[in-house]
Structure 1
Amino acid sequence: MNIGRRQFIHSAVLGASLLTVPSKAADIVFRPGTGAEPGSPSPLLLDRAKAALAAHNARIRNHDLLAIADFSKPSRDPRFYVVDLRSGKSDTFLVAHGKGSDPSHSGWVQHFSNVHGSEATSAGSYLVGETYFGQYGESRRLIGLDPQNDQAEARAIVIHPAWYVNRSLIQDQGKIGRSQGCFAFAKDDINVILERVAPGCLLYADKV
């Protein structure tokens, strides 16, 4: 009888410990800095961006910050991450993709293109360039560093504000508008973007 009681108690304790595993696992998965929480880029995309930073080390001046556009996500979601590599913290923003990458205006990037006139988004590593004032106001040039986006400068792919990036459109139609391939941001966010994603930073765009 004593053996039976010990086995019963052992089984009960083991069962209770197994029941607590999911909550502990959740705590680990969603702990800040893991990349599994909504405000952080996926670990895979972050690793790709870090690898790009290392590969283009000679051309990047700021090695403490990464700007990452996750085009795996729909345009209704904040999918542009500004990551502080020193603290591991990140901030998220809405960003538009190009019309040519989403011809049916589904809100999702269907494909990338580096072709002139495609009005599509290009994946890859970008060096953030100088500030200028264009048709959308204060904007920032981008220089493509990879074969899949090396026409970015010639195609005038830039960072700029746009009226069609706002939460009202998301409420009305479930998505924001599309750019001509540029990284277009809400007017309320552009000052923060231009301040933090400064000349000399790396911007990395991709799908996972």
Structure 2
Amino acid sequence: MQEMRDMTRDRRAILKNAALLTAALAIPNAVAASGRMLTQRDLKPVAEPPVPPAPPIAPIQTSSKVVRPDLLRQALASLDRHRGRIARHDRIAIADMDAPSSQPRFHIVDLRGGESHSFLVAHGSGSDPAHTGFLKLFSNEFGSNATSQGAFVTADYYVGKHGSSQRLIGLDASNCNAFGRNIVVHSAWYANKDMIQSHGMLGRSQGCFAVGERDLDKVFALLGSGRMIYSAKV
């Protein structure tokens, strides 16, 4: 009786092994029928998965006494819109042209830590014809000597008629002539602090972002190339 059970078990094992062997032999036959052998390429996806879009710029915490919330939100939206043309997103400069020239209104903001540094900056004579100390209008026109509105990206440094300067490229329709108009960052005597003591306001540029002579090195160090300057009234 035990011998019959052993024979039955052995027969089942033989049949199972035969079935497995038959299935294994059938695979190369199927490949041969298709006309080629499987290669490593067949084990990889045909196309790479799409790269997920970059996340939007997250709002940062900074004092409303430094940069007004509405202006900061507008600047961050502009940075997100132009992110493909701006190489460095760790810091931005915001020129609050709603403030008078007697106030430090050129804010360089660290988007990671929320720290900010504020400097005096002059606006263009064409933006304030009566020299009131307040920017009245923006312009993108050649020969206007006016400040332009919108997002700029900082470019290379050079030495020109205003000494050390940094070229800017306008990213919006409202400032697309900035490079051709030679709108740059530079220092000027009329943007020094003592102008406020003697005149109550800064002098005017020809549309450039003119900062105080003692502030230029720090402004250049914080700005660098490939970062955004946003100029607006809100």
Q: What interval of TM-score do these two structures reach, taking the shorter chain for normalisation?
A: 0.7 to 0.9
| Matched positions, count | 175
Find the counterpart in structure 2 of residue 193 from structure 1.
219
Q: Which of 35, 55, 62 is matched with 2:63 structurally?
A: 35
Determine the C-alpha separation between the residues in 2 that align with 1:140 and 1:129.
6
Q: CA deviation at 1:35?
A: 3.2
Q: CA offset at residue 61 of structure 1?
A: 1.0
Per the TM alignment, residue 34 of structure 1 is displaced from its structure 2 partner at its CA by 4.4
Secondary structure, in 3 states, of the residue corresponding to 2:121? coil
Matching of residues 99-114 of structure 1 within 5 Å: 99-114=125-140
Cα RMSD over matched residues? 1.1
Cα distance in 1 between the residues matched to 2:108 and 2:64: 16
CA deviations 1:108-166 (Å, max 9, x no partner) are: 00000000000000000001010011111111000000000000001000000101011
The one-letter code of the counterpart of 1:115 is E
| Match for residue 64 of structure 1 among 73, 77, 90 | 90
CA contact (8 A) 2:98 2:135 kept: yes
| 1:66-105 matched pairs, under 5 angstroms | 66-105=92-131
Q: What stretches of structure 2 of length at least 5 have no aligned partner?
A: 1-60
Partner AA of 1:102 in structure 2: D
1:206 partner letter: A
Change (3 A) 1:135 1:58: same
What is the match of residue 136 of structure 1?
162
Q: Distance in 2 between matches of 1:176 and 1:162?
A: 10
The one of 54, 78, 83 equivalent to 2:80 is 54
Q: Which has the higher contact order (CA 8 A, sep 6+)?
A: 1
Check conservation: 2:139, 2:174, Cα contact below 8 A: yes
TM-score by length of 1: 0.82
In the alignment, the residues of structure 1 paired with residue 210 and residue 193 of structure 2 have an alpha-carbon distance, to the nearest angstrom, of: 14
Aligned to 1:22: none
1:153 and 1:159 map into 2 onto residues whose CA distance is 12
**SS at structure 1 position matched to 2:140:** coil
SS in 2 for 1:164: helix
CA apart distance, 1:36: 2.0
Task: Give a deviation string over 1:174-200, Cα, whole Å, max 9, x none.
Answer: 101000000001010000111111110
Aligned to 1:158: 184
SS at the partner of 1:52?
helix
Alpha-carbon distance between aligned partners in 1 of 2:218 and 2:193, rounded to the nearest angstrom: 17
Q: Name the residue aligned to 2:193.
A: 167
So what's the TM-score if we normalise by structure 2?
0.73
1:34-76 C-alpha deviation (Å, 9 max, x unpaired): 4322xx2111111111111111111111111010000000000
Q: Runs (4+) of structure 1 moved beyond 6 Å?
A: none
**In the alignment, which residue of structure 2 is the partner of 1:121?**
147
Which structure has the larger Rg? 2
Which secondary structure does the structure 1 equivalent of 2:190 belong to?
Answer: coil
When residues 171 and 143 of structure 1 are mapped into structure 2, their CA distance, relative to the original with a 3 A threshold, is same
Determine the C-alpha separation between the residues in 2 that align with 1:200 and 1:104: 35
